[in-house]
Amino acid sequence: MKRTLALFLFVVSIIIIGSITVSLTYVHILSFKKTSKPTVQPIVQFEENPNHIYIINVSTGIFKDNVDWAIIVPPSIVGNMLILTTSGPMNMSSRGLEENIGSVVAINLITGKLMWEVQFPNQIMTQPIIVNNTIIVGLGNNEFPNYYNISSLTGGVIRGTGVNCLVALNLAGKILWRFPTSGEDMPTPVYYNGNIIEANGNDQVFSLTIKGNLSWIENISSYVSMSSPVLVNGTIYFGGAHPYTFYAVNASNGKILWQDSLNATGGLDDSSPAYANGIVVTSYTRLIDENTSLANYLTGINSSNGKLIWTVYEGDGSIPPNLESPPPTIYDDIVFHDTPTNGTLYAVNLTNGNILWTFYTGPTTANANILEGKYVVILNGQGELFVLSLNGTFVKEINTEIMSGPGNVIVTNNTLILWGLNGIIETIPINYII
């Protein structure tokens, strides 16, 4: 898909394709057609719910397409549309993004055809939040302004260069408003009580109305990278860096309820936490071996008071090229978590942190999902989809072309939706998987 993007000020382009069949590999403006108004199922936080079991009650067609640009996080579904975000082309050898460009893309959920695309002058790493016929995404990259000495960062750091902002679009791809920020907006925001809440790269947490007006803004000590907040009972939980701190924040006014200074040197600001039964679970890393490798840790925290309940050492390995700590998943009081260093999926008791079983998947930034209440499914960084029983028994391995990002495959009524850093989006029938 060849694109031309004007980066002067805030210029975007919209591509709308009607009834003509077009491969996503070659996108041109062919015709304009008004789409029917779909039924909206709200998506109010990362992976739809606090435990990250991403299951949507919808049926899809069988298709495979390539949008060329990297899909970093899971798409969202609204009516007959699959809404995804991209972050420009990725070098698949280094796993590095090559340009500060991105897009929001709508694909027909049945045919896989492109419906519309809006391009932006920075990367988009947020899962689309969809409420009140409105799509909310954030722009931002993982770079630091060149006046920082990265090796000596402490507090008061701004992360993200270029155009940073939250943007709202309607379901036809028209931009409704944008709210600029000084740092990146890579974490997926949450929707709570009529407001969009974001923790971002300029050491702040802020809240906007659905119309884009500022409700409140509060300073914190850390910048937040990819740690998308989890929303539970009016509180958001997320991790930040420099200093590495885990936060519980009142979603109504931005006041910090408690904060933990975990023994982390990385990853805490990447991991999107999960929650169940009064315990919030996150992950982090520590540098070892003269900064050439990382040790991985998974931890459970009392959501009411911030007291550390348990910590699990998940092994160590070489420093990955980008994200260090993937999101955890919680199902039936079991925490599932993998890493991009040693590539071992851990199943851990939510209450006490006891390791129930492990399974080697190979390095991945993905998190697990649950299929039909019986199977664990997870995609590794080389495109291998693993199917396991809930007790860790190997069931099946499927080779795909899809290189996973920090999120899980989507389970629908009849398919798994796979998406990846190499721009591929594919649906696989469930009856082929199990």
The whole-chain average pLDDT of the chain stands at: 90
pLDDT band at residue 321 using 50, 70 and 90 as cut-offs: confident
**364: domain CATH number?**
2.130.10.10
Specify if 100 maps to a domain.
Answer: yes
Count Cβ neighbours within 10 Å for each residue of 165-183 and write b for 16 or more, e otherwise: bbbbbebebebebbbebeb
Per residue in 326-350, pLDDT (tens digit) is 999 999 999 999 999 999 999 999 9
Residue 267 tokens read as 């990853």
Return the HEC string of the chain: CCCCCCCCCCCCCEEECCCCCCCCCCCCCCCCCCCCCCCCCCECCCCCCCCCCCECCCCCCCCEEECCCCCCCCCEEECCEEEEEECCCEECCCCEECCCCEEEEEEECCCCCEEEEEEECCCECCCCEEECCEEEEEECCCCCCCCCCHHHCCCCCCCCCCCCEEEEEECCCCEEEEEECCCCCCCCCEEECCEEEEECCCCEEEEEECCCCEEEEEECCCECCCCCCEEECCEEEEEEECCCEEEEEECCCCCEEEEECCCCCECCCCCCCEEECCEEEEEEEEEECCCCEEEEEEEEEECCCCCEEEEEEEEEEECCCCCCCCCCEEECCEEEECCCCCCEEEEEECCCCCEEEEEECCCCCCCCEEECCCEEEEECCCCEEEEEECCCCEEEEEECCCCCCCCCCEECCCEEEEECCCCEEEEEEHHHHC
Per residue in 45-93, pLDDT (tens digit) is 999 999 999 999 999 999 999 999 999 999 999 999 999 999 999 888 7
From the list 292, 201, 193, the residue with the least C-alpha distance to 236 is 193
Higher pLDDT, 170 or 13: 170
Amino acid at 135: I
Per residue in 162-182, pLDDT (tens digit) is 999 999 999 999 999 999 999
Q: Residue 111 pLDDT > 90, yes or no? A: yes
| Predicted pLDDT at 359 | 98
From the list 191, 225, 208, the residue with the least C-alpha distance to 72 is 225
From the list 24, 18, 17, 170, the residue with the least C-alpha distance to 86 is 24
Looking up tokens 């995404």, which residue turns up?
A: 137
Specify if 425 maps to a domain.
Answer: yes
Amino acid at 352: N
Higher pLDDT, 404 or 29: 404
Per residue in 373-391, pLDDT (tens digit) is 999 999 999 999 999 999 9
Counting the structural domains of the chain, the total is 1
Query: Which of 13-17, 115-119, 329-333, 402-406 is predicted least confidently?
Result: 13-17
**Helix or strand or coil: residue 427?**
strand
| Predicted pLDDT at 148 | 59
Specify if 219 maps to a domain.
Answer: yes
Per residue in 249-280, pLDDT (tens digit) is 999 999 999 999 999 999 999 999 999 999 99
Looking up tokens 């701190």, which residue turns up?
A: 245
How do beta strands 355-360 and 369-371 pair?
unpaired
pLDDT band at residue 190 using 50, 70 and 90 as cut-offs: very high
| Predicted pLDDT at 160 | 96
Using CA atoms, how far apart are residues 44 and 194, in angstroms rounded to an integer? 11
Rg of the chain on CA atoms, in Å: 20
Specify if 332 maps to a domain.
Answer: yes
Using CA atoms, how far apart are residues 364 and 420, in angstroms rounded to an integer? 12
Range of the domain at 286: 14-433
Q: How far apart are the first and last CA of the chain?
A: 34
Specify if 2 maps to a domain.
Answer: no
Specify if 48 maps to a domain.
Answer: yes
From the list 308, 357, 320, 360, the residue with the least C-alpha distance to 338 is 360
| Predicted pLDDT at 13 | 44
Adjacent-strand bridge partners of 335: 330, 348
Specify if 7 maps to a domain.
Answer: no
Specify if 4 maps to a domain.
Answer: no
Percent above pLDDT 90 for the chain: 83
